[in-house]
A = this chain, B = another copy of it.
């Protein structure tokens, strides 16, 4: 029946809970059933204040701690690709969303249910539409409608990171670099100017480009400047009067979007450059006490995050954030994604340690 959500038992082990979550189909835009199940399960816990916004569920402790941390995960998956229901073998849980990111959501739910008392107050966020356009992203919508709910000293996004802390993230912007020419019949090419030929210099600058590898908070980032599209041409017998190279710049978190844009315009000095979209980077913020304590608690291993993730939304709000979850990030969106069950266990153990399970405070 459409209105009846499956029941989620948060006392089962992490592997079983991941399997149960995978078996609730939740392609982006269709998260109502899984959000209902999560909301219902959390409302049964007296130490949490639970609120619902669309298909986003927020659950907060109010222990009066000096610090507050966010633990967040998205509930949606990319489209079904003949990879449901879940299938478990001795070491892995296979199926849509197992890696990205129901393993992480299972850990977060187990922490929410199993640790009524922690050394930091916690805000759990389970949100929708992370896999689609930014305007539908539940975390984005919440940051606009109820930013106070996101207030915290630190945030953990439980995206797959192989169980190692990935700190900050690089920003991304895309520009179109356009060259202009003058049309002419290709049989009389000296009557015109070829815009595609003119783009050769654009590609030469890209080939010669030396990306920065700045070290920030001890982490080496690695920038990039790459053509991702090129197009030009009018007809098979016409000199083209326009050629556009779309260039994606990935920039380290020591630069703002504006600084990165200025840099790209310098690289293509003399050419027509139009900014098409941009997303800011996120500083790793590892010097913040809550972050430093987290890294220490999880064993000290930290990698820089190269790809853009929702951690940048927290960073934009002034909240240091890291990715930390079970699963190989390279398996995300693949038909045969899986999550190693030992990572589900080890990530949960690390979080419990950080949250003072062995002696709160």
Residues of chain A having any CB pair with chain B under 8 Å: 170, 172, 174, 185-190, 194, 196-200, 202-204, 206-207, 211, 222, 224, 226-240, 243, 245-246, 248, 250, 306-308
Contacts and interface: CB of A to CB of B under 8 A. Distances in A.
6 contacts: A186-B250, A189-B250, A190-B222, A196-B227, A196-B229, A196-B245
A332 B199 CA distance: 31
Contacts of A231: 230-231, 233
A237 B230 contact: no
B227 A187 contact: no
A187 B228 CA distance: 12
Contact of A197 (B187, B190, B207, B240): B207
B230 A230 contact: yes
B228 A230 contact: no
The 9 A-B pairs with the shortest beta carbon distances in the complex, nearest first, are: A200-B203, A229-B233, A189-B224, A196-B227, A187-B307, A187-B306, A186-B248, A197-B207, A230-B232
Chain multiplicity (copies): 2
A216 to B, nearest CB: 16
B239 A228 contact: yes
A245 B230 CA distance: 10
Nearest to A305: B187
Contact of A187 (B172, B203, B235): B172
B250 A226 contact: no
Q: Which of A174, A211, A226, A243 has the most CB of B within 10 A?
A: A226
Given A187-B170, A197-B203, A207-B200, A228 B246 contact: no
B187 A236 contact: no
A204 B208 CA distance: 14
B228 A240 contact: yes
Contact of A236 (B232, B233, B235, B246): B246
Contacts of A236: 174, 228-229, 246, 248
